[in-house]
Structure 1
Amino acid sequence: MTITELLRQDSMALPRRHAALVLPVVTGVGLAIVGAFGTYVGMGLLTRLVHFVAGALLITTLIIGVTALVRRYLFSGAEPFWAAIGVALAVAPAGGWIVHLLLWLLAPQVLPYVSYRDLTLQVLTINLFLGPLVWAVRRVPAGAADTAIAPAHPTSPPATACSFRSKLPFAVRHAAILSLSAEDHYVRVRTDRGEALILIKLADAIAALGPETGVRIHRSHWVAHAAVRGLTRQSGRLGVRLDDNLVLPVSRAGQKLLRNQQDKMQIGA
């Protein structure tokens, strides 16, 4: 899978993705106007604009790419704040080389007066500002305005079993799926080899697995037929017990679906 595909899969709603790219542009323009890091001495305003905006966009793109890999292979979903700080630190050395290259192209006369160490520290300073800011923007849930302008019909094809499994980390991609649970914009996928948190709608994930594999027992939960080990009641509420002794709640509608599924299985037998 390419970096481009990871970015596309990992990205949030379109307006927020645009915001994540607008932030470095605004920051670059601001740094250019004030002549940050002494650039007002050896570089004109136009050169500073190109230098800072191009550098901010390139480094932010690198941060988003590394973050996409971190989200997919380390956290199987949204990364915590400390991971965003870690990415900002890790990308700084590469960012220093990007800035050095831009200076070599745009203003080679200033290179004798600045070291790679200085450039890396400058990038690190900006990263520690932009990284958490981009993290915060990407974590903001879609608001009412997003819902209001949503099209009445889906604009993307429904998920298939292959496309659903492609979102899973490699370690559990071919594992037996035991249950699904909605968590905000994500779905927690429990398998016989571990868990993963992926960005997908619960309804799309259920549709991808097919109606014959399991049943939706609650608006936030789905269980595979093979994973059910019995029913239990806790504080008067019905629940489904799974292989790992996890109990998921069953709604009234879920009870009806469970009975219908049991009837069909008995008739089939």
Structure 2
Amino acid sequence: MRERLARLSLRLGPPIGVGLVLGIIGPFGTFDLLPAVPRLAYWLAVISVNWLLADVVLRRLDEVADERLPMPWLTVPLMGACFAAVPATGVVALANGISGIGWPDEVVVLFGRVLLLLAAISLPVYTWEDMQERIAAMPESAPPESASSVAQPEEMEARQARTVGQSLFAARLSAPLGGQLLCLEMQDHYLKVHHSAGSEMILCRMEDAVRELSSLGHRVHRSWWVAADAVDGVERDGQRILLRLADDRRVPVGRSYRRDLKAAGWL
């Protein structure tokens, strides 16, 4: 329960914070058009709904187009803001009509304002999340060879930790795996566990699952982890690199993960 509450606070904290700030300063004329309490409610509702829209669009775009776009750290959030601005403009127009501000006379102007706001939010948020993903993907440094005799107890502790981690992950499942573990697919705050006998959705962060299953495979993409014994081959599609799994599934390999996968002999 505590873990769920912590994730919920991390999920809702940023949009609520941004909504409160905008509600206080009242940009785009809302300071003069709305009293304090309705203005706060207006911005909290608009930011929360559009934040969710932008998050869904960015995650999908990052999964589908990350490897095909130059400078994805810039192009993914900007393109995501452009796509999300279309439904977000409708949300703002509806909020304006309900709040009493009035239905927009110039939809193009409203779209430009929404796009500017989404881009200003998407760029830092995407950059922060990308940095966190890169840090989580960094391998732990190996101890020097001269300390091998001292490292033996540490190696035993590491093996025990891996065993405990795998047990923790198994406990997240509703039942023991019905077949070979293939890969994990991130879907928002859930993970879809793919195995040879089917799939199961669990509530788990990708970072936690990667840590618990560190000895069984590698994270290959922001949204994917793959078991080592599930890889059947490597394919290329232009600049994209795909792993072919035992069930004939193709999993994309992210740019930031390629160096570690090459070092591991996967590529």
The TM-score normalised by the length of structure 2 is: 0.51
Question: Is structure 2 residue 6 aligned with structure 1 residue 22?
Answer: no
1:187 alignment partner AA = R
Q: 2:75 — aligned with what? A: 82
Change in Cα spacing, 1:96 to 1:163, as seen in structure 2 (3 Å) is farther
Q: Distance in 1 between matches of 2:57 and 2:20?
A: 24
Name the larger-Rg structure.
1
Q: Which amino acid aligns with 1:99?
A: V
Q: What displacement does 1:117 show?
A: 2.5
Residue pairs, 1:159-238, within 5 angstroms: 164=182, 167=185, 187-188=219-220, 197=221, 199-201=223-225, 205-206=227-228, 209=230
| Aligned counterpart, 1:102 | 95
The AA in structure 2 aligned to 1:105 is I
Cα 1:16–1:249 change in 2 (3 A) is: same
Cα displacement (A) at 1:161: 6.5
The amino acid across from 1:206 in the alignment is A
Distance 2:20 2:82 in 1: 23
Give a deviation string over 1:103-157, Cα, whole Å, max 9, x none. Answer: 11122xx22675322322221121121101221232233779xxxxxx9633533
Letter in 2 for 1:104: G
Which residue in the other structure is 2:189 paired with? none
1:63 aligns with 2:54: yes
Partner of 2:153: none
CA distance in 1, matches of 2:218, 2:5: 17
Equivalent residue letter for 1:94:
P
Report the RMSD for the aligned CA atoms in angstroms: 4.6
Aligned position for 1:51: 42
Distance in 2 (CA, whole Å) between partners of 1:35 and 1:138 is 28
Query: Contact 2:88–2:114 at 8 Å: present in 1 too?
Result: yes
Higher relative contact order (CA 8 A, sep 6+): 1
1:130 pairs with one of 117, 121, 146: 121
How far is 1:38 from its partner?
A: 0.8
Within 1, Cα distance between the matches of 2:66 and 2:105? Answer: 38
Contact 2:218 2:228 in 1 (8 A): no
Decide whether the 8 Å contact of 2:89 with 2:111 is kept in 1. yes
* TM-score, normalised relative to structure 1: 0.50
Moved over 4 A (4+): 13-18, 76-79, 158-163, 222-225, 247-251
- Count of residue pairs brought into register by the alignment: 176
CA–CA distance in 1 between the matches of 2:43 and 2:123? 19
Judged with a 3 Å threshold, the aligned counterparts in structure 2 of structure 1 residues 30 and 127 are, in CA distance, closer, same or farther, namely same
Partners of 2:222 and 2:177 lie apart in 1 by 13
Consecutive unaligned residues of structure 1, counting only runs of 5 or more, are: 1-12, 145-150, 174-181, 189-196, 215-221, 226-246, 252-269
Identity, in percent, stands at 16
> Any unmatched runs of 5+ in structure 2?
137-163, 187-193, 195-213, 234-242, 247-260
